[in-house]
Amino acid sequence: MGGVPVAAGSWRRRVFGEEGLVRYVFLLPAAFMVLCFAVPVGLTLVWSVFKRTQFWMEPGLTLFAYETFFTSARAENFAYAMVHAAIAVVVSFLLGFPIAVFVRRRVPVSIQHRVILLFILPFMISELIRVFALRPVLARHGLVNEFLLQLGVIDEPISAILFTPLGVIIGDVMSFLPFMVFSGFLAMEAVQRYVFEVCDDLGAGALHTFKDVILPLAAPGIFAGSVFIFVNGLGVGLIPNILGGPGAVNAGSIVFESIVALDFPLAMAISAIMIVTLVALLWIGHWLFDLTRVLEPIS
Amino acid sequence: MLQDYRNPWLYRGMWVYLLLLVGALLLPVFYTIYISFNEHGFGAQIYDFTWDWYRVMLGNTQIIDSLRWTLGLGAATVAIAVPMGLIAAKHYKRTRHKLVLVTLMLAPLFVPADILGSALLVYFKNLNRACNWLADTLGLEWIRTWFELGFGTALVGQVLWTVPYAFIVILITMSRYHAQQTEAARSCGATGWQAFWRVEFPQIRVGVASASAFVFILSFNEYTRTNLLKGGFDTFTTVLISHMFNTGMSEDSYAMAGTVSVISMLVVGGVLVWSLARVERLEREARAAATPLGSA
């Protein structure tokens, strides 16, 4: 395809010219996101107060779905899922963030991106497969137990790591850890390297440098990564389904089960609670740390 | 090579830790592939190499059929999400409302699959009812099936899931492009399109190509949204999950999981190697061009 020759006064000018219709093409992605993302997500709030009918729902104004949610075991399970997701966030931070700092501080600039790209590989293999693949690894006669038995570290297989809350947390960490590395690194990228040299020259200790220099500078990235892991740990229903054993649920799996049970208002109520939680978290984060700083290196 | 000379062991230790962590993240996948080649399946004491489980898989018409749907859906998702990400990235560079645009484009990343999938399901069901009503009352038969669950609705779910990645990857590549080149092209008389297609696009082509590969892989691997929105057909991952939940983890599910992982790794690995090799070549050329006359 070559350029479009623009003759004065032609229809081509009206379509392809500088002020032609073609400039509206740039609005298409935003329009698509509004129509297919923002509107349905926002409407969950409206649908959540609709009346449930046998197979569908009808317009109305009732808090019945919320009542069902808060007065059943679902609310309690939701709270447990929140705790598990929060633990997964902390573990991912402890395991993943030092890598972001290390790569930015100590690894030659020319290969920094390549090292971070190593974490793309596990991330690009289906989450489904990675979660599913944890079963044979964590099972009673799985890889971890067999290995520990061979080493003589344990006498009998550990059964606490699969079909338990611990299994769910392991699944969350294994699924979302790369995100902490990415967003941590992105935030660290905005920090000039000489900052670390200054710290070294001034004789600041490792802990001091970390607490007073790295943490405040990387806060937006850490926060963005944490919200991502928290919300997905809470919302990806497959992880408790596959690794959590009987009765293990989170917001995602409760929503899915409500859809299967044709209780659409309930599904929408839980979705709405999730969306409101997410928006509140992002808003607080933006207010505290100005999340746009995460995107500075690319804009 | 820059090293931490004060504490070389800490430096080496961190490298070991980093590689171990990547290894640990990949370990379950490799273990699954390993099991998929064992004649006796998972948990057996003996290991006999076999292709049988893959043969069983390939002999299953349901699986082959689902593979066709998966590839079709993947191709369609690439065809929509990548141009959309490119246009949005171009728009991002010029708009004054950067924060609004970037929030809109990246927000789907933060909404978990089950939540977004259910919201879209109820949305499409409502639209479908509206279309049916219009078809009944106004006789507009041609709009009756617009929002029926099927390929189109699954496609919307997948585009929403993949477009943030396409947007970010292309935006990162674009940030290395110097806009003065567009200005130079324009002042030499090129139209906006010519300046984009002949000057800018060749320089961001790598980003567009990697975005396409990533979008394809993400689409190929997606399960939750597709499962909620797909209507009648099945994709590779939905078949795999229904196998897993209905019949437990039979040996051919290991073969299916192995297939998905190997395809993902080949595509992603291929793109990484290709783009790194390209960077390497460009740097070499730049160094050669920068060598002062007579010094070589």
Q: Do both A3 and A28 map to the same domain? A: yes
Residue A59 belongs to a domain: no
Q: Which residue of A has its CA nearest to B176?
A: A298
Q: Do both A127 and A234 map to the same domain? A: yes
ipTM of the complex in this document: 0.88
Q: Which residues of chain B have pLDDT under 70?
A: 1-6, 291-296
Query: Which of A129, A242, A292 would best serve as a mutation to test chain B binding (most B beta carbons within 10 A)?
Result: A129
Q: Do both A174 and A80 map to the same domain? A: yes
What's the confidence (pLDDT) of residue B1? 39
Q: Do both A116 and A9 map to the same domain? A: no
What's the confidence (pLDDT) of residue A80? 92
Nearest to A125 among B4, B160, B265 (CB): B265
- Taking one residue from A and the other from B, the number of pairs with CB-CB distance under 8 angstroms is 255
A12: CB partners within 8 A, 6+ apart: A4, A5, A6
Q: Which residue of A has its CA nearest to B259?
A: A129
What's the confidence (pLDDT) of residue A160? 84
The CA distance from B54 to B58, in Å, is 6
C-alpha torsion B196→B197→B200→B203, nearest 10 = 160
A259 with B118: Cβ contact below 8 A: yes
Domain ranges for chain B, please list them: 50-279
DSSP one-letter string for chain B? ----TT-HHHHHHHHHHHHHHHHHHHHHHHHHHHHHTBTT-TT-SS--B-SHHHHHHHT-HHHHHHHHHHHHHHHHHHHHHHHHHHHHHHHHHH-S-HHHHHHHHHHHHHS-HHHHHHHHHHHHHHHHHHHHHHHHHH--GGGTTTTSSSHHHHHHHHHHHHHHHHHHHHHHHHTTS-THHHHHHHHTT--HHHIIIIIIHHHHHHHHHHHHHHHHHHHHH--HHHHHH-TT---HHHHHHHHHHHH-S-HHHHHHHHHHHHHHHHHHHHHHHHHHHHHHHHHHHHHHHHSPTT--
What's the confidence (pLDDT) of residue B3? 45
Distance from CA of A283 to the nearest CA of B (A): 12
Nearest to A129 among B29, B163, B197 (CB): B29
Domain around A294:
64-298
Q: pLDDT tens per residue, chain A (299 residues)?
A: 445 555 556 777 777 766 777 778 899 999 999 999 999 999 999 999 999 988 898 898 999 999 999 998 889 999 999 999 999 999 999 999 999 989 988 888 888 888 888 888 887 888 888 888 888 889 888 888 888 998 888 888 888 888 889 999 999 999 999 999 998 888 888 777 788 888 888 887 778 888 888 888 888 889 989 999 999 999 998 899 889 888 788 999 999 999 999 999 999 999 999 999 999 999 998 898 887 777 766 65
Cα separation values, B100 from A231, A292, A299, Å: 21, 11, 14
The CA distance from A18 to A104, in Å, is 43
Q: Do both A182 and A37 map to the same domain? A: no
What's the confidence (pLDDT) of residue B71? 93
pLDDT digits (tens, 9 = 90+) for B83-97: 999 999 999 988 888
Residue A102 belongs to a domain: yes
Question: What's the number of domains chain A is made of?
Answer: 2
Nearest to A235 among B114, B198, B241 (CB): B114
Domain B50-279 = CATH 1.10.3720.10? yes
Chain A residues whose beta carbon lies within 8 Å of the beta carbon of residue B17: 98-99
What's the confidence (pLDDT) of residue B2? 45
Phi, psi of B30 (to 5 degrees): -65, -35
Q: Do both A172 and A261 map to the same domain? A: yes
Q: Which two tokens stand for residue A21?
A: 């219709």
Q: Which two tokens stand for residue A84?
A: 């598990």
pLDDT digits (tens, 9 = 90+) for A145-172: 888 998 888 888 888 888 889 999 999 9
Nearest to A40 among B19, B26, B123 (CB): B123
Q: Do both A158 and A214 map to the same domain? A: yes
Residue A232 belongs to a domain: yes
Looking up residue A218, the CATH number of its domain turns out to be 1.10.3720.10
Q: Which residue of A has its CA nearest to B85?
A: A29
Q: Do both A171 and A34 map to the same domain? A: no
